[in-house]
Structure 1
Amino acid sequence: MSKILGLTGDETAAEAMRQINPDVLAAYPITPQTETVQRFSEFVADGVVSTEMVRVESEHSAMSSCVGASAAGARTMTATSANGLALMWEILYIAASCRLPIVMVVVNRALSGPINIHCDHSDSMGARDSGWIQIYSENCQEVYDNLIQAVRIAEDKDVLLPVMVTFDGFIISHAMERVEILEDEEVRKFIGEFKSPHSLLDIDNPVTYGPLDLYDYYFEHKRQQIEAMKKAPSVIRKVGREFKELFGRSYDLMEGYNLEDAELILVAAGSTAGTVKTAVDELREEGVKAGLLKVRVFRPFPYEEIAQALRGAKAVAVLDRSASFGAQGGPLFLEVRSSLFEEDRRSPVINYIYGLGGRDIKVEEIKQVYTHLEEIAQGKKPIELVDCLGVRE
């Protein structure tokens, strides 16, 4: 029987990792991820898990260790944040190109500089083209559920790509919530045993990982990555459906909230989706047809599903918790706008950059965005296509 525990996001991630019981976990502590690996190291010390935990001197070494362990056939996990993810950069691409199903916890934190330990999405969004699947979590329960599903997704024979499961630093990582924890045996049965299709230790079927790969083959190998990412959405859905059948919680590439008749829609990812839901509820009581589209899976991006979900909207605003310097808007905005390009009737879409460096976003500020959308729906042209929300002038 499942049990209800009060856990922070970091503790929730560690609890999921305990039940997954990976063969190898290599990590280096960094705020606000530290409590995740600290709690997991206690499980290792107490003999609760059989994981070989590699305590390395840097995040570059952590991901390098994960690459070696995964290539050898081990179920492998790690965790990091912000500058730690940046230090892994070189190896992120190697892990993806080697088709290694590593699962990584990314506790979202602003990249330096200036030095900041609080939440925004600049770290994971910066890694959006590294070849990793990206799944964003709204709350602690989703952290738990997404991590368990990530193992199945990464290790699927049609995918074999690394997956990062993200959640907002401090807002989720250090906030305690009610989390339903499944039975250990249920989780282990759901994820199954990992059998690497191409293990370095399989001497009867020798393989090579990461050799020099020049123009005569490099392109073909990259094409295989592209095709694997194309296959990922159907696998993510399949795993989500099975999770719902067994445990009752539903997951897809995205989640709609009051979208059925929504005319004004906000698009968001991460913990902010919960705040937007509160604003939507209050506006609905006032008769405003407001809705939310929460993006759960950012890579691969669900273009067709996004376009379909926004088809009835009179105006759309995309909330980005990171800036894409030199681009016409934030990363999420660029993808959403691209999704609507082929539509016969395109809804007007605007972008708000918000919450950088952990700045709080309030319900009243979100309601102001809906007010702005109402004006646009009535024919008023937006002054700015891309604007900042909650920033001093």
Structure 2
Amino acid sequence: MAKQVMEASQAVAEAVKLCRPGVVPMYPITPQTHIVENIAEFINDGAMDAELIDVESEHSAMAAAIGAQMTGVRTFTASASQGLALMHEMLFIASGMRLPIVMAIANRSLSAPLNIWNDHQDAISERDSGWLQLYVESSQEALDTIIHAYKIAENKEVLLPVMVCLDGFALSHVWEQVDMPTKAKVNQFLPRYKPVNPTLDTRKPVTLGPVSFPDTYINFRKMQQDAAKKSLEVIKKVNSEFKRKFRRSYGNGLVDTYKLAGAKYAIVAMGTVCGTARHVVDKMRKEGKRVGLIKVRSFRPFPVEDLISATKGLEGIAIIDRDISIGYEGALYSEMMAALRGSKTKISGFIAGLGGRDITADNVEYMLNHSMKGKEIREEWIL
């Protein structure tokens, strides 16, 4: 392995190259453009043996990925914001047909008003599409999680597509040092793709995706749900295997924690704001305050049991949502409230960072101090 300094988008592209997809349909949209630009350069220069398909829209990009995957080829694509929203119809096709596609999402706000900066509204809006969603904090985690994602998606107990979500601009355009795994080690960790289900083959014709009548449709949905639940253990296993091979891991793969031992209060968050939260936790610990961080890596599947375990003994938690379910509350707050129903832990929800608004260290400290007062609040906006 070699240490290199690069943009997070390039780190994602390098990881994709190491994973050896055969087809990459692409339609660039800010802020994920650098990901597919780097992949296009790899293919053009002969550094990556794959078919690049330039399409006319994100809807077509996902349609092409679905078609390629159905022929038994490992595929990759990337999107963000309105592009991901345009894919909406096809996302359900990919998951319903149990196609282990991996897609990087450079998380960006949704219009209107037009905004190209980061929040989590785009991916959160697709939480019920049947895709697994993994959120990353750093360039290294983005690189590693792309490799994780293929191993998870292609597991015969899972066979569901995976989104790897990295904050647009706040991470996608940030330059950091990464430890680049060798091709040989990745090949050992992630063998050549071998389809489990029948594929499109003119020599052995099959019908894929036929109509399902009321007497069978619910069974297919149940099988998807069962697979998503099984992915909880698969994600943990892949994280452990990756640690043995590359000496890096991210909590248990589902949830990561920081200075939670002895803590009475904690911030719960996803993505790059966790880096700010670590800094605040260090500062407040030096002041004698018993605080910690719970980083949710897997939003789908949602790791209920792991979060119950992580919050056990905590008097209060403050949840940061970079999204809003208009007419209700933050999505992560909703999920945490459901997961911890009956718990004595006091839970507060904060809406922050929408449209790229910076979530400062002072903001995070305010949330923790609020939690330490023993108060609960369902929805406070950090403006």
What's the TM-score once normalised by structure 2's chain length? 0.97
Helix, strand or coil at the partner of 1:371: helix
| Cα distance in 1 for residues equivalent to 2:198 and 2:115 | 40
The structure 2 residue matched to 1:386, chosen from 364, 379, 382, is 379
Question: Aligned to 2:194, what secondary structure does the other structure show?
Answer: coil
CA displacement at 1:149 relative to structure 2: 0.7
Partner residue, 1:48? 47
* 2:150 matches 1:157: no
What percentage of residue pairs aligned between the two structures are identical? 43
| Correspondence 1:194-343 to 2 at 5 A | 194-202=193-201, 206-251=205-250, 252-327=253-328, 329-343=329-343
Contact 2:236 2:254 in 1 (8 A): yes
Aligned partners of 1:10 and 1:153: how far apart in 2? 21
Q: Is the 8 A contact 1:200 1:208 kept in 2?
A: no
Stretch deviating more after TM superposition (121-130 or 194-203): 194-203
CA distance in 2, matches of 1:256, 1:158: 27
Quote the offset at 1:40 in angstroms. 0.6
How far did 1:178 drift? 0.6
The gaps in structure 2 that reach 5 residues or longer are none
| Moved segments of 4+, more than 4 Å | 202-206
Q: Any conservation in 2 of the 1:198–1:207 contact (CA below 8 Å)?
A: no
CA deviations 1:88-124 (Å, max 9, x no partner) are: 0000001000000000000000011111000000000
Once the two structures are TM-superposed, the CA of residue 204 in structure 1 deviates from its matched residue by: 6.7
Distance (whole Å) between structure 2 residues aligned to residue 315 and residue 242 of structure 1: 33
SS of equivalent to 1:48: coil
Q: Distance in 1 between matches of 2:206 and 2:263?
A: 53
SS of 1:250's equivalent in the other structure is coil
Q: TM-score normalised to the size of structure 1? A: 0.95
The 1-side partners of 2:367 and 2:237 are apart by 35
Task: Provide the residue aligned with 1:368 in structure 2.
Answer: 366
- Give me the whole-angstrom Cα distance separating, in 1, the residues matched to 2:44 and 2:162: 27
Matched residue of 2:366: which SS? helix
Q: Write the distance in 2 (CA, Å) between the matches of 1:61 and 1:153.
A: 25
Q: CA deviation at 1:326?
A: 1.4
CA distance in 2 between counterparts of 1:54 and 1:67 reads: 13
Over residues 23-60 of structure 1, what are the superposed CA-to-partner deviations in whole Å (9 max), with x where a residue is unaligned? 11101000000011001100010011111111101000
| Partner SS for 2:91 | helix
* Separation in structure 2 between the aligned mates of residue 27 and residue 319 of structure 1, nearest angstrom: 32
Q: Which amino acid aligns with 2:381?
A: C
**Deviation of 1:189 (Å):** 1.9
> Which amino acid in the other structure matches residue 370 of structure 1?
L
Question: Counterpart amino acid of 1:349?
Answer: I
Separation (CA, whole Å) in 1 of partners of 2:305 and 2:206: 37
Q: How does 1:81-230 map to 2 (within 5 A)?
A: 81-202=80-201, 206-230=205-229
Pick which of 180-189 and 132-141 moved more.
180-189
TM superposition shift of 1:201: 3.2
Match for residue 353 of structure 2 among 335, 352, 355: 355
In 2, distance between residues paired with 1:68 and 1:336?
A: 37
Cα deviation, 1:203-246, whole Å, max 9, x if unaligned, reads: 67653222111212111111110111111011111111100001
Contact 1:13 1:144 in 2 (8 A): yes
Report the RMSD for the aligned CA atoms in angstroms.
Answer: 1.1
CA distance in 1, matches of 2:164, 2:288: 36
Partner of 1:68: 67
1:311-332, Cα deviation, whole Å (9 max, x unpaired): 11111111000001112x2111
Matches of 2:172 and 2:227, distance apart in 1: 31
Aligned to 1:25, what secondary structure does the other structure show?
A: strand
**How many pairs were matched up?**
381
1:38 aligns with 2:37: yes
- Equivalent residues of 2:185, 2:245 under 8 A apart: no
Contact 2:321–2:350 (Cα < 8 Å) also in 1: yes
Whole-angstrom CA distance in 1 between matches of 2:151 and 2:378:
39
| C-alpha distance in 1 between matches for 2:232 and 2:264 | 27
Structure 2: how far apart are the matches of 1:342 and 1:209?
A: 44
